[in-house]
């Protein structure tokens, strides 16, 4: 079963990577950089690679990204750098994502010489959560001479990278490797430590930290208000994906994954999480997977590549349809009632996975003084210093501030917040002299 989760898209050989890099036109006005949310110097690292200078290429990447092996695999390149590449007009853009991935993998495999680290003398910062936003802030601040500690509620750091994205798209060894690199910058990780239970944000500020960053993501899935939604075998896609990841990791048995071989599965929603859930369900032995979506193929929110691969792997789609009831026998799901263009249908179903988004948990905010949230529970932040909440010294970024976004968008936001934290801590220390 676990072999089904082997990484699908294999990397370049050295010759393939250098040949691909040589295709770059070195445009005077590189549109790929405009398409990248963190404004990577793409022509810079691609040019270095084209000459075989992988170490120099890696140095350029390090200026903007702490997670290149991850971004190279899971970024929506088709909408960003590659989508903007001038060669995309001929439907053959430079494969920037695969080149970034090659450079990062080569750097790790060859254990190239690492950058010099500044002494940790500028201040102490606590990071809550170790998803893309938390890891980015941690890496950036450590590089700038801050003593950084990351508090993670799970037994291993990585957040959505570790527990949300399936193994076949992002092998967990890659996540562990990228986190190891951040550790070598001098970042401390404390796992199995839930802020809001074992300690509060106030405790962190009162003890030793000059600032706190909240990057706890959106851990509460949204649900539907329809009859039968609380039946047994109606559950959240995020929970199913997490359990499948834990199983692949060897942390739990196959019996603990909420899906039996041979089941017929319905998934409500059609974003990237729904595609992940569909493809994971098929790998776990589902007989059929049906995605129910109120829109059409043209306006599906999932990436085109994710959708295409889900179709190729056998996912069925019910377009312009919505689930209006989960029908049970006793307390267990037996069927769903769906409104389709042909009228209402009752479809026998063994399990329903809900994929309609998520929102922040309020545990951290509710146990801390003076952190305001909006009507939907997202933390309110300001622009000066960037990312600071209504509580002095407490910053936030990533999905806890905005509705759930991609890894690279969380990183872009986090890089700005890291600068805001540095400015704030420097200013406070200056005033106290």
- Is 432 a residue whose pLDDT tops 90? no
User: CA dihedral defined by 138, 143, 144, 149, rounded to 10 degrees?
Assistant: 30
Q: Which part of the chain has CATH 3.50.50.60?
A: 123-219+359-432, 223-356
Q: How far apart are CA 28 and CA 33, in angstroms?
A: 11
| Bigger pLDDT: 360 vs 371 | 371
The CATH number of 123-219+359-432 is 3.50.50.60
Name which of 100-109, 110-119, 304-313 the model is least confident about. Answer: 110-119
Q: Which part of the chain has CATH 1.10.1060.10?
A: 14-110
Q: For the chain, what percent of residues have pLDDT higher than 90? A: 70
The reply to whether CATH 3.50.50.60 applies to domain 14-110 is no
pLDDT tens-digit readout, 246-274: 999 899 999 999 999 999 999 999 999 99
The reply to whether CATH 3.50.50.60 applies to domain 223-356 is yes
Q: Which two tokens stand for residue 104?
A: 């990062």
pLDDT tens-digit readout, 18-31: 999 999 998 989 99
Phi/psi for 317 (5° steps) reads -120, 130
**Sequence-ordered list of residues with C-beta below 8 angstroms from that of 329, at least 6 positions apart, any chain:** none
What is the reported pTM? 0.86
**What's 157's DSSP letter?**
S
The per-residue pLDDT for 1 is 53
| Bigger pLDDT: 423 vs 9 | 423
Q: How far apart are CA 172 and CA 152, in angstroms?
A: 17
The per-residue pLDDT for 404 is 61
pLDDT tens-digit readout, 160-169: 899 888 998 9
Tell the burial category of 262 from Cβ atoms under 10 Å away from its Cβ (0-12, 13-18, 19+): exposed
Tell the burial category of 301 from Cβ atoms under 10 Å away from its Cβ (0-12, 13-18, 19+): middle
DSSP secondary structure letters along 259-324: --TT-EEEEE--SHHHHHHHHHHHHTT-SEEEEE-SS-GGG-SS-HHHHHHHHHTT-EEETT-EEE
Q: How far apart are CA 66 and CA 214, in angstroms?
A: 18
């Amino acid at each position: 079963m676990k072999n089904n989760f082997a990484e699908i898209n294999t990397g370049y050989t050295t010759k393939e990577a250098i040949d691909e890099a040589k295709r770059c036109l070195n445009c005077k006005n590189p549109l790929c950089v405009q398409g990248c949310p963190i404004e990577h110097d793409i022509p810079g690292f691609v040019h270095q690679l084209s000459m075989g200078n992988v170490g120099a290429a890696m140095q350029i990447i390090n200026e903007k990204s702490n997670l290149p092996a991850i971004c190279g695999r899971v970024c929506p390149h088709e909408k960003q750098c590659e989508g903007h590449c001038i060669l995309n007009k001929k439907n053959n853009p430079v494969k920037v994502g695969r080149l970034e991935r090659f450079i990062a993998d080569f750097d790790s495999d060859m254990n190239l010489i690492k950058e010099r680290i500044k002494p940790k003398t500028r201040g102490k910062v606590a990071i809550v959560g170790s998803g893309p936003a938390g890891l980015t802030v941690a890496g950036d601040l450590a590089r700038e001479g801050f003593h950084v500690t990351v508090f993670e509620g799970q037994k291993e750091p990585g957040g959505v990278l570790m527990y949300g994205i399936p193994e076949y798209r992002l092998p967990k060894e890659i996540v562990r490797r990228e986190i190891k690199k951040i550790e070598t910058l001098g970042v401390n990780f404390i796992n199995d430590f839930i802020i809001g239970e074992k300690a509060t944000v106030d405790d962190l500020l009162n003890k030793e930290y000059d600032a706190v960053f909240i990057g706890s993501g959106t851990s509460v899935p949204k649900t539907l208000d329809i009859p039968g939604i609380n039946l047994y075998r109606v559950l959240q896609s995020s929970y199913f994906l997490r359990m499948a990841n834990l199983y692949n990791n060897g942390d739990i048995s196959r019996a603990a994954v909420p899906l039996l071989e041979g089941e017929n599965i319905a998934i409500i929603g059609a974003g990237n999480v729904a595609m992940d859930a569909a493809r994971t369900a098929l790998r776990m032995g589902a007989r059929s997977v049906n995605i129910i979506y109120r829109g059409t193929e043209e306006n599906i929110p999932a990436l085109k590549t994710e959708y295409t691969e889900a179709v190729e792997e056998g996912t069925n789609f019910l377009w312009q349809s919505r689930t209006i009831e989960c029908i049970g026998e006793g307390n267990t799901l037996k069927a769903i009632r769906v409104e389709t263009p042909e009228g209402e249908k009752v479809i026998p179903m063994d399990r329903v996975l809900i994929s309609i988004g998520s929102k922040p948990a309020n545990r951290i905010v509710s146990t801390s003084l003076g952190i305001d949230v909006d009507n939907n529970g997202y933390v309110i932040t300001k622009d000066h210093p960037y990312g600071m909440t209504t509580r002095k010294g407490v910053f936030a970024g990533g999905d806890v501030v905005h509705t759930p976004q991609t890894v690279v968008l969380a990183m872009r936001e986090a890089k700005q917040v890291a600068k805001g934290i540095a400015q704030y801590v420097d200013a406070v220390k200056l005033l106290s002299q």
